[in-house]
Amino acid sequence: MDIVVCIKRVPATDTTIKIAADGKSIEPAGVSFELNAYDEFALEQALRIKEQLGSGTVTVVTIGSKDAQKELRDTLARGADKAVLLTTDQWVFDGASTAAALAAWIKSVPCNLVLCGRQAVDSDNNQLPANLAARLGFACVTEVAKLELADGTFTAERDIEGAREVVTCKTPAVISCQKGLNEPRYANLKGIMAAKKKPLEEAAASLPAPALEIVSLTLPPARAAGKILGTGVDAVPALIAALRDEAKVL
C-alpha cells in the first residue's frame, strides 16, 4: 500500500499567542513550533500498516514554510521513506485551498491511503481530511480512534455524540486520526542517522486563489473579572443567588 501522511508544523500548545502588527497574523518571535500532535498518530498508523502488510511506502507531505524541513526530517527519522515539502510563505489556514493543492499533488503520486491528523491545532479547522477526500473521490472516515485492516477492508471506530460509530471502507481512502488510536514511536539514533540519507524533496506549492480572507485576528475578549463569592460552604447561597438572578442559568 502506498501511504501519504499529511502533516503540519504548528505552534506548541503551551505557546503564548501574540497578534502581529498587521492584525491578521501571529507574531512569530518567541513561538516554538512542533509537529501537530494528531499527525503523530497518523504517521504511527502509516508505519504500522506498512509493517503489517510487509510492503508499501510511507511518504510524508506538508504545505508550509521552509522551516517545516525540521518536522519532516523527524518523520523520516521515525521511519517514513520519503518527505515532500510544498513551500509557501503564507500561513495556510484556508482548508479549501490547502485541500485543493494537496489533492492535485496526491493525484501525481502513487497513493491508495491518505492519513491525516483530526485537526491542526493552529487554525483548529478539523476539515482538511474530509475536504481532501471529496476532491479525490476517496472514501473517508474522520476522527478515528481505532483502526483495523483485514482482507483489504478498513474497520474504523469513531466517537460521535453519546455513541461510537463503526465504519467500514476500502481503499482508496482518507482517514483522520484521533487521540487513542496508537502510541506514537519516537526517533532513535539509528533512525536519525538513516533519515539523513532519505529523500526530502521541495517544490513550490501551487495554492489556488484563497476561498477565505482573514479580516482580523484578535485576542479573545477578556472575560469580565469574575467574583470570588466567598470561602467554603457558606458561599453556596451566594452562588445559587448569582446563578439564578444574575446569570439566569437556573
Ligand X SMILES: Nc1ncnc2c1ncn2[C@@H]1O[C@H](COP(=O)(O)O)[C@@H](O)[C@H]1O
Ligand Y SMILES: Cc1cc2nc3c(=O)[nH]c(=O)nc-3n(C[C@H](O)[C@H](O)[C@H](O)COP(=O)(O)OP(=O)(O)OC[C@H]3O[C@@H](n4cnc5c(N)ncnc54)[C@H](O)[C@@H]3O)c2cc1C
Q: Which residues make up the interface to ligand Y (CB under 6 A)?
A: 13, 37
Q: Cβ closer to another protein: 35 or 173?
A: 173
| Sequence-separated (6 or more) residues with CB below 8 Å from residue 234 | none
The correct pick among 165, 188, 202, 206 for binding another protein (CB under 8 A) is 165
- Which residue in 45, 59, 142, 182 binds another protein (CB under 8 A)? 142
Host H or E run for residue 42: helix 37-53
Task: Please identify, using beta-carbon distances, which residue of 64 and 79 lies nearer to another protein.
Answer: 64
Instruction: Tell whether residue 63 is a contact of ligand X (CB under 6 A).
Output: yes
174 touches 116 (CB < 8 A): yes
Q: Is 119 in the site for ligand X (CB under 6 A)?
A: yes
Instruction: Give the one residue of 117, 133, 140, 154 binding ligand X; rule: CB under 6 A.
Output: 117
Counting contacts by CB under 6 A, is residue 90 touching ligand X? no
Can you say how many angstroms the Cα of residue 144 is from the centroid of all Cα atoms in its chain? 13
Residue with cell 491545532: 121
Q: φ and ψ at 101, to 5 degrees?
A: -65, -40
In the complex with another protein, the residue whose CB is nearer, 2 or 122, is 122
* Nearest-angstrom CA–CA distance, 50 and 38: 19
* Residue in this structure with the C-alpha cell 500498516, named with its chain if needed: 49
Task: Kindly state whether residue 231 participates in binding another protein, applying the rule CB under 8 A.
Answer: yes
Asked if 105 touches ligand X (CB under 6 A), the answer is: no
Task: Tell whether residue 240 is a contact of another protein (CB under 8 A).
Answer: yes
Q: Closest distance between ligand Y and the C-beta of residue 184, in Å?
A: 13
Of 36, 45, 75, 97, the residue at the interface with ligand X (CB under 6 A) is 36
Per the document, the length of the chain is 250
How far is the C-alpha of 169 from the C-alpha of 176, rounded, in Å? 13
Q: Closest residue to ligand X, Cβ-based?
A: 117
25 and 17 in contact (C-beta within 8 Å)? Answer: no
Which residue is at the shortest CB distance from ligand Y? 13
Strands 57-64 and 153-160: unpaired
Query: What is the binding site for ligand X (CB under 6 A)?
Result: 6-8, 36, 38-39, 42, 61-64, 92, 95, 98, 116-117, 119-120, 123, 125-129
